[in-house]
Structures are given as structure tokens and as C-alpha cells.
Amino acid sequence: MAIGRIVIDEERCKGCALCTAACPKGLIRISGRLNGSGYHPAEIVDGEKCRGCALCAVMCPDVAIEVEKEAS
């Protein structure tokens, strides 16, 4: 059961992969497709396992990631 939900603005993402390294669950990877700026953006692998820690959003230098937490 997901506690958080990762939202990636793929058009803002430059594919630096800092979020992939920061995610303790390994839920983010770099996509094989290109965004409008010609970068391979990050994408979510298995959002159902997100714990809402927001480390990915903290590490993102382009502020392309938001983590929404479910209300308890």
C-alpha cells in the first residue's frame, strides 16, 4: 500500500539521475524516451511501493519531482 505518490514533471527533468540514486526503494529510473528538450527524463517504476520519504524530490536540482503523501 502506497503512503506517498511520486509526480515527475518529465518536461522539466534533465535526466541527471540523482533521484534514482536517492530513492531507497529503487522506484525511479531513467526513461528510454526523450522529453521535449531532448533529455531522457526520470520515470516511476512501481509507485505502489512509495513510502513518501521525498528524498527524490529533495535531491532534484530542477524541482521536477513532487511527493504527495496520503492523509492518515
pLDDT over 70 (residue 66): yes
4-69: CATH number: 3.30.70.20
pTM of the model: 0.88
Which residue, among 51, 56, 54, has the nearest Cα to 3 in the 3D structure?
A: 51
Domain ranges in the chain are 4-69
Q: In whole angstroms, how far apart are CA 65 and each of 10, 14, 57? A: 9, 12, 5
Provide mean pLDDT across the span 30-40.
97
Contact in structure between 52 and 70 (CB atoms under 8 Å): yes
Contact in structure between 18 and 59 (CB atoms under 8 Å): yes
Q: Which amino acid is at 56?
A: C
70 — pLDDT class (breaks 50, 70, 90): confident
pLDDT over 90 (residue 37): yes
pLDDT at residue 23, rounded to an integer: 97
Provide mean pLDDT across the span 30-51.
96
